[in-house]
Structure 1
Amino acid sequence: MQSYSELSVLIIDPNPAMRGNLHNMLNQASITRIEYAVSSGTAIRQLTNKRFDVILCEYDLGSGNEDSGQDGQQLLEDLRHNKLIDRSTIFIMLTSEAVQTKVIGAAELTPTDYVLKPFTVDALMQRIGRAVERRTAFMPAYQLIAQGQPREAIAAALEAERSNPRYATDFARLRAELHYELGELAEAEMIYQAMIVARPLGWAQLGLARCQFGLERYGDAMSNLERLLENNPNMMGAYDLLARSYEALGQSQQAKKILEDAVAISPNMVGRLRHLGEVAYGTGDISAAEKAFRQVVTKARYSEFRDPEDHVNLVRALVRKGDVSQASGVIRDMERTLRSSANTEVCKHISSAMLLDVTGHATEAASELSNAVTAVGMARGLSNRLRIGLVNSCLKHRLDKDAADVVMHMMNDNEKPITMDEAVSVFEKAGRHDLARGVGEKIDGVMQELVTEAEAMARQGDHRAAVATLHQALRRTPGNLKVLYPAVQAILRQLDELGWEAPLGDQAAALIDRIRSLDAGSPALEALLKQYSGTQRKYGISTTA
């Protein structure tokens, strides 16, 4: 039997006998760097501080008791979503039952492999060996991804594909995913289309549909997804994207039906249940929303990454339903079981305000909303959906300054910023044109300060910092000509003085195209085009904007 003594392995299993059996099997392949976790919580704490080459995870982490913790599928969802494992981690799911929902659930989260018990040491090591061999071929690209160099990783994948032709399809998939993550949807689409011509692979069809959705070709995406589901009704990601496509076209009832079908097939994905609850609430199906949000709260109870917003969603549904007693119980559960944090404080205050509102205590509700606004400034990772809901609640109670403060906080949030147009539309939709105008003027002032700051950086020769600052401004005001022109000028100055960088040159061209669509025929645009062409000629590049 081949030795894999260099591998580190984490065994996640609540059963001491099974942990012992797995340990013995691994020892027979000279694997001795073995650690254990008896639950999802202990696994997450270990993975927060240390990485492992291989994870062997039992599906039934609660020893068959659904109320005793997360299952392996929910754990894997947490690990992927919170980036505690990367592409190089070999994750093998172990289960003693070939239950359809379990196999489907595990497969849709793309573990490296899954193995049905009982299995022999030879069978287990064959799976691990196959995974290690594949990982070795991909490691140069994986290392570049980990270093934040996705473009270099694409080139490395192309190079590795030549010496590992048996993984050609997998390398193509990785390249397409990286192009997609870079926002290069047309490039990703071409790769997926080439894959489909060679062989109608489900993941390639789904990837193609994702690109079409991102390019706002919703009809094409829906046609592809419907064909995919006809041939592969267990391709769970297709249901999620099809539902979002229906939503994008304003057909929320159809989206709800699609999500209900998906949940019936694979019932344990918390993200999908949350989405179903949101869509159901939006369509006015409060009973379905309550059921979905209650399942989310229940299934996420044992997660190390519990989101207090799930309790807010459930309280909102119960309040809308008129069930004050149960809504109060959910708030008490939030206070009792969720760890103290700014996010939890925001959610507690918003939930309490909803309850006070429905029971006729408007003054107390307004006080809770003000408390929520104060806590928002210290919170991290709150959804824009929740924060916009808080803005609307503040406007309802005439807390105009609080509403404006939340919107400005959203504009300045580097993780989930909203654009100026989105910020202004919050107030326009509420019929508050005065606040929309005031916030728009305030945002214009902030953007001008960023432009001035970037110009000062450029004068001092710090061109990269100037470009980064203007990128920050563009994320918030992508159609603002007062930012677009300085941004292109800053990029061209950097290229001219520090050397040509193809991705930055492409970005300049894309921004020039955006300016052309907004300000065609402008003398300032003509000057930029000449500057761009001059920089290209300086470095012997023949293409033009």
Structure 2
Amino acid sequence: MAEYSDLSVLIVDPNPGMRGNLHNMLSQSSITKIDYAVSSGTAIRQLTKKPFDIILCEYDLGNGSGEANGQDGQQLLEDLRLHKLISPWTIFIMLTSEGEYGKVIGAAELTPTDYVLKPFTVDALLQRIRRAVDRRTVFLPIYQLVEYGDVRKAIADAKVAEEKNPRYAVDFARLRAELLFSLDELGEAEMVYQWILMTRPVAWAHLGLARCRFGLQKYIEAQETLSQLLEQNPRYMAAYDLLARTHEALGQQEAAKRILEDAVAISPHMVRRLRHLGEVAFETGDVGVAEKAFKQVVAKAKYSEFRDPEDHVKLVKTLVKKGDAHQVSGVIRDMERSLRAGPNVDVCKAIAAGLLQEMSGNMTAAATELTNAVNAVAGSRGLSTGLKIGLVHSCLGVKLDQQASDLMLNLMNDTESGVSMDDAVQVFEKAGRHDLAQGMGEQIKIQVDELIAHASEQRLHGDLRAAVDTLNAGLRKAPGNMSLLPAATSAILKQLDDLGWEAPLAEQCMFLIERMRRLDPAHPSLEALTAQYHHTQRKYGISAVA
């Protein structure tokens, strides 16, 4: 196997004897570029420095005491995939005993490239490596196109590869469906999964089909697909997660909680699922389940390199709702003792301290802590929109109206937050603060007027494309604003008329006209904009579609 001499391997195993055995086995196949990690943490630190072709990972990464004192190999793999520390073509082989195999393979969601059952011979290991490397060689050109950002060509080449490589036809079809899904072309991806299921009724294709249907808001169909999948594969854990989300989308919070509780009973160590269970339980008022879930999240995350201080805040909110000030104080002490200092941690500690002070009736001290939290948000990075909206509500609770308004305005203007102008107003309306909602509305009107004025200036200077871009950016934040809609439609029509017909832009223009018609059928600009659209069609000889 001299052709494998350029391969680099990371061995992840706490047992020095096993690391030595694996090194000897790899050496027999001329693989000499070998590094070691004794835990999930050291593996992650190694992988942040350089990539590896192959990762050989022991499933049980504990210290042999039998205690759950660290991540297992499956949890490590999930962290690596979630945080994109390994590429899609990295070969990840799990090494596991026969006693653990049923548990691992049954609960696996982000499946490794392969499993090797212990004890194994040199030939058995090298055969698995050979098979994985050969498969990677076939798929590598597609993966590289994705890495370079040419997803369209990757999809086209995957289709060609399906026909050229019948042995891997279903695998190429799966990759094609996943790439279509990544481009939000859910209908196309759904058809590919349906074709796969006609060829081979595999569980992951049922899950892919359900994901497409969920994305297309076909929630009942997604629910039926997932229920059937779990009847046949009761340990297919990713199906539980999506089924819970489907119940949530249908407003069935209690059902979502039950599904997540069932999943946690089967596979109790997944931090993301425990977090989701805690959130749903908190929302349904089940403080006991929420407390238990968030405590497990905080405890298990201690062994991850990707600890999230927001988990402590969620636990604090649950304990505040329970009325347990003593435990809240303990969580805050744990935050101070165990979390690395940084802007995100500063925000979360201040929020937690503010909640404790408010619970204790110290409103002045609570206001001071929450003001510190709002000030620290400016230097933070990656905090969730949910945490920030929770901070807005906390500020309102201690009469920090200006801080709440400023934070909401910043959220609305943050393109990554997903908070629209309408959402910002609704936060205050739902909190019973119509006065602040009105103030937010006035701020929004000022911003919209400034956007429209800026776009008008761009049009006057002949920069029609820039004007359209400016107004489209505004529409992403306020899709139903009846000042932006006619301005954006008019700007698009001007570009089409002066610079030539572009089918996607024309399609967007008609979409905006129809949105205006739906929101305000009597809008004074509607008739003129529709007439202008048809005039431009005729100018370029475009047939109007009936």
Question: TM-score, with normalisation over the residues of structure 1?
Answer: 0.90
> Which amino acid letter does the alignment assign opposite residue 12 of structure 1?
V
CA offsets 1:92-151 (integer angstroms, 9 cap, x no match): 22222432433334x212222222212222222222222222222222322222223323
Give runs of aligned pairs for residues 357-436 of structure 1, distance below 5 A: 357-436=358-437
Secondary structure of the residue aligned to 1:280 is helix
Q: Following the alignment from structure 1 to structure 2, what is the Cα–Cα distance between the partners of residues 488 and 432? A: 34
Do residues 523 (structure 1) and 527 (structure 2) align? yes
CA offsets 1:433-477 (integer angstroms, 9 cap, x no match): 221122133234334444555566677787776665555433322
> Which amino acid letter does the alignment assign opposite residue 253 of structure 2?
S
* TM-superposed deviation, 1:488: 6.2
Of 217-226 and 171-180, deviating more is: 171-180
Residue 130 of structure 2 aligns with which residue?
129
Residue 14 of structure 2 aligns with which residue?
14
> Which amino acid letter does the alignment assign opposite residue 14 of structure 2?
P
> Which amino acid letter does the alignment assign opposite residue 262 of structure 1?
A
* TM-superposed deviation, 1:67: 4.8
Of 56-65 and 325-334, deviating more is: 56-65
Residue 62 of structure 1 aligns with which residue?
62
* TM-superposed deviation, 1:303: 1.2
Secondary structure of the residue aligned to 2:99 is coil
> Which amino acid letter does the alignment assign opposite residue 143 of structure 1?
Q
CA offsets 1:380-437 (integer angstroms, 9 cap, x no match): 2212221111111111112111111221222233333311222111111111122112
Residue 39 of structure 2 aligns with which residue?
39
Of 451-460 and 441-450, deviating more is: 451-460
Contact kept, 8 Å, 2:496 with 2:536, in 1: the verdict is no
Give runs of aligned pairs for residues 151-190 of structure 1, distance below 5 A: 151-190=152-191
> Which amino acid letter does the alignment assign opposite residue 159 of structure 2?
L
1:102 pairs with 97, 104, 126, which one?
104
Of 235-244 and 28-37, deviating more is: 28-37
Contact kept, 8 Å, 1:515 with 1:525, in 2: the verdict is no
CA offsets 1:327-376 (integer angstroms, 9 cap, x no match): 11111110111111111111101111111112121111111111111111
Contact kept, 8 Å, 1:41 with 1:304, in 2: the verdict is yes
User: Residues 495 and 23 (structure 1 numbering): CA distance in 2 closer, same or farther, change over 3 Å?
Assistant: farther
Q: Following the alignment from structure 1 to structure 2, what is the Cα–Cα distance between the partners of residues 461 and 166? A: 57
Residue 147 of structure 2 aligns with which residue?
146
Residue 260 of structure 1 aligns with which residue?
261
Q: Following the alignment from structure 1 to structure 2, what is the Cα–Cα distance between the partners of residues 115 and 535? A: 68
* TM-superposed deviation, 1:70: 1.9
Secondary structure of the residue aligned to 1:62 is coil
* TM-superposed deviation, 1:493: 7.9
Contact kept, 8 Å, 2:346 with 2:373, in 1: the verdict is yes
Of 263-272 and 24-33, deviating more is: 24-33
Q: Following the alignment from structure 1 to structure 2, what is the Cα–Cα distance between the partners of residues 418 and 246? A: 23
Q: Following the alignment from structure 2 to structure 1, what is the Cα–Cα distance between the partners of residues 269 and 532? A: 53
User: Residues 365 and 182 (structure 1 numbering): CA distance in 2 closer, same or farther, change over 3 Å?
Assistant: same
Secondary structure of the residue aligned to 1:29 is coil
Q: Following the alignment from structure 1 to structure 2, what is the Cα–Cα distance between the partners of residues 544 and 39? A: 63
User: Residues 67 and 127 (structure 1 numbering): CA distance in 2 closer, same or farther, change over 3 Å?
Assistant: same
Q: Following the alignment from structure 2 to structure 1, what is the Cα–Cα distance between the partners of residues 177 and 171? A: 10
Q: Following the alignment from structure 1 to structure 2, what is the Cα–Cα distance between the partners of residues 101 and 494? A: 60
CA offsets 1:9-50 (integer angstroms, 9 cap, x no match): 222222222222222222222222222222222222222232
User: Residues 312 and 101 (structure 1 numbering): CA distance in 2 closer, same or farther, change over 3 Å?
Assistant: farther
Secondary structure of the residue aligned to 2:41 is helix
Secondary structure of the residue aligned to 1:116 is strand
Residue 280 of structure 2 aligns with which residue?
279
Contact kept, 8 Å, 1:404 with 1:435, in 2: the verdict is yes
Give runs of aligned pairs for residues 184-199 of structure 1, distance below 5 A: 184-199=185-200
> Which amino acid letter does the alignment assign opposite residue 9 of structure 1?
V
Of 251-260 and 499-508, deviating more is: 499-508
User: Which of 1 and 2 has greater Rg?
Assistant: 2
> Which amino acid letter does the alignment assign opposite residue 44 of structure 2?
I
Contact kept, 8 Å, 2:309 with 2:335, in 1: the verdict is yes
Contact kept, 8 Å, 2:309 with 2:345, in 1: the verdict is yes
Contact kept, 8 Å, 1:88 with 1:135, in 2: the verdict is yes
Contact kept, 8 Å, 1:467 with 1:487, in 2: the verdict is yes
* TM-superposed deviation, 1:72: 1.6
> Which amino acid letter does the alignment assign opposite residue 117 of structure 1?
K
Secondary structure of the residue aligned to 2:89 is coil
Percentage of identical aligned residues: 62
Give runs of aligned pairs for residues 183-262 of structure 1, distance below 5 A: 183-262=184-263
Q: Following the alignment from structure 1 to structure 2, what is the Cα–Cα distance between the partners of residues 543 and 155? A: 32
Do residues 71 (structure 1) and 75 (structure 2) align? no
Q: Following the alignment from structure 2 to structure 1, what is the Cα–Cα distance between the partners of residues 385 and 74? A: 27
Contact kept, 8 Å, 2:497 with 2:536, in 1: the verdict is no
CA offsets 1:294-317 (integer angstroms, 9 cap, x no match): 110111102111000111111122
User: Residues 520 and 337 (structure 1 numbering): CA distance in 2 closer, same or farther, change over 3 Å?
Assistant: same
Q: Following the alignment from structure 1 to structure 2, what is the Cα–Cα distance between the partners of residues 97 and 298? A: 28
Contact kept, 8 Å, 2:513 with 2:530, in 1: the verdict is no
Contact kept, 8 Å, 1:73 with 1:268, in 2: the verdict is no
User: Residues 242 and 332 (structure 1 numbering): CA distance in 2 closer, same or farther, change over 3 Å?
Assistant: same
Contact kept, 8 Å, 1:8 with 1:52, in 2: the verdict is yes
Question: TM-score, with normalisation over the residues of structure 2?
Answer: 0.90
Q: Following the alignment from structure 1 to structure 2, what is the Cα–Cα distance between the partners of residues 27 and 535? A: 73
User: Residues 504 and 47 (structure 1 numbering): CA distance in 2 closer, same or farther, change over 3 Å?
Assistant: farther
Q: Following the alignment from structure 2 to structure 1, what is the Cα–Cα distance between the partners of residues 445 and 187? A: 33
> Which amino acid letter does the alignment assign opposite residue 3 of structure 1?
E
> Which amino acid letter does the alignment assign opposite residue 275 of structure 1?
H
Q: Following the alignment from structure 2 to structure 1, what is the Cα–Cα distance between the partners of residues 502 and 79? A: 37
Secondary structure of the residue aligned to 1:98 is helix
RMSD: 3.0
User: Residues 291 and 5 (structure 1 numbering): CA distance in 2 closer, same or farther, change over 3 Å?
Assistant: same
Structure 2 alignment gaps of length 5 or more: none
Q: Following the alignment from structure 1 to structure 2, what is the Cα–Cα distance between the partners of residues 543 and 254? A: 48
Residue 289 of structure 1 aligns with which residue?
290
Of 465-474 and 421-430, deviating more is: 465-474
* TM-superposed deviation, 1:508: 6.4
